[in-house]
Homo-oligomer: A and B are copies of this chain.
Amino acid sequence: MLSKKTKYGIKAMAYIARKKDRKPVQASEISESENISQKFLESILLELRKSMFLGSKKGKGGGYYLIKEPADIKMTAVIRVLEGPIAMVPCVSLNYYEKCDDCPDEKTCSVHKLMIQVRDASLEVLGDNTLQDIATFDQ
């Protein structure tokens, strides 16, 4: 299951991407428009800024803005930062690999075998989609 944090984070980035001008967007505006608790959203936007997806400006007229073009932001990257591994099992994760305690041999593990396939399928979808793709309504 996707956490609310990740869900809200994606929605927020999509909201910012949808704005034609590149002026900073305030957390309060996103919070209202997307029905997200403002304080919670603030912490998420902060994290996205620290992960170099967003820039920010303090004070009046400040807010958050995209650093890169929406078409250059892969959803794999966003999800990895907010949610963590894309794989459903650590022993199959490319970026967060961890050996299972119980499993003596990954090569003969039935779960491993299956989850590799699921990972690859998810990776393909999430790697193909950019923020641009999901932010736009048309098509």
* Contact B129 A117, beta carbon cutoff 8 Å: yes
Q: Which chain B residue has the least Cβ–Cβ distance from A3?
A: B88
Asked if A2 meets B126 with Cβ closer than 8 Å, knowing A14-B110, A102-B35, A110-B135, the reply is no
Interface of A is mostly: helix
Q: How far is the CA of A102 from the CA of B137 in the complex (A)?
A: 18
Asked if A36 meets B102 with Cβ closer than 8 Å, knowing A88-B1, A110-B11, A122-B118, the reply is yes
Q: Is A134 an interface residue (CB 8 A)?
A: yes
Contact with B along A97-139 (1 / 0, CB 8 A): 0000111100011110111011001101110010000110100
How big is the A interface, by class? 35 or more
Instruction: Write out the residue numbers on chain B whose beta carbons fall within 8 Å of the beta carbon of A111.
Output: 2, 7, 10-11, 14, 134
Q: Is A34 an interface residue (CB 8 A)?
A: yes
Q: List 7 A-B contacts (CB under 8 A).
A: A1-B85, A1-B88, A2-B88, A14-B110, A35-B102, A113-B134, A121-B121
